Amino acid sequence: MPSTYPPPGALHRGIDGGSADLFPFTWYNLSVDATKLRRAVARTPLAPVAAFPKRLARVARHDAKVLRVSARWLFTSREHHNYTYELTKLSRQHLAWFVAVVCDLPVKQVRGYLAEIEADEALRRHIESATAGAARRGLADKRVRYARRVGWYALVRARKPAHVVETGVDKGLGSCVLAAALLRNAAEGHPGRVTSLDINPEAGYLARTAPWSEVVDLVVGDSITSIAALDRPVDLFLHDSDHSRAHEKREFEAVEPKLAPGAILLTDNVTTTNVLADHAERTGRRFLAYRETPANHWYPGDGIGVAW
Ligand X SMILES: C[S@@+](CC[C@H](N)C(=O)[O-])C[C@H]1O[C@@H](n2cnc3c(N)ncnc32)[C@H](O)[C@@H]1O
Residues within the interface to ligand X (CB under 6 A): 82, 149, 166-170, 173-174, 197-200, 203, 222-223, 240-242
Nearest distance in Å: CB 80, ligand X: 12
- Cα–Cα distances in Å, from 45 out to 33, 49, 51, 56, 114? 20, 8, 11, 19, 53
Please give the distance of CA 95 from its chain centroid, rounded to a whole number. 8
Q: Give buried/exposed letters for 89-119 (b at 16+ CB in 10 A, else e).
A: eebbebbbebbbebbebeeeebbebbebbee
By beta-carbon proximity to ligand X, the closer residue of 105 and 123 is 123
Nearest distance in Å: CB 43, ligand X: 52
- Cα–Cα distances in Å, from 126 out to 177, 180, 290, 308? 12, 12, 29, 33
Nearest distance in Å: CB 270, ligand X: 14
Please give the distance of CA 119 from its chain centroid, rounded to a whole number. 19
By beta-carbon proximity to ligand X, the closer residue of 92 and 171 is 171
Nearest distance in Å: CB 94, ligand X: 20
By beta-carbon proximity to ligand X, the closer residue of 111 and 171 is 171
Nearest distance in Å: CB 133, ligand X: 18
By beta-carbon proximity to ligand X, the closer residue of 158 and 177 is 177
**φ, ψ (nearest 5 deg) of residue 250:** -65, -35
Alpha-carbon gap, residue 123 to 107, rounded angstroms: 24
**Cβ atoms within 10 Å, residue 285:** 16
Of 234, 182, 231, 173, nearest to 206 (Cα)?
173
The closest residue (CB) to ligand X is 174
By beta-carbon proximity to ligand X, the closer residue of 203 and 276 is 203
By beta-carbon proximity to ligand X, the closer residue of 105 and 235 is 235
Nearest distance in Å: CB 251, ligand X: 9
* Residue 289 CB burial class (10 angstroms; 0-12, 13-18, ≥19): middle
By beta-carbon proximity to ligand X, the closer residue of 235 and 240 is 240
DSSP class of 87: B
Nearest distance in Å: CB 98, ligand X: 18
CB proximity list for 267: less than 8 A, separation 6 or greater? 238, 239, 240, 248, 252, 273, 275, 276, 304, 305, 306
By beta-carbon proximity to ligand X, the closer residue of 235 and 268 is 268
Nearest distance in Å: CB 239, ligand X: 9
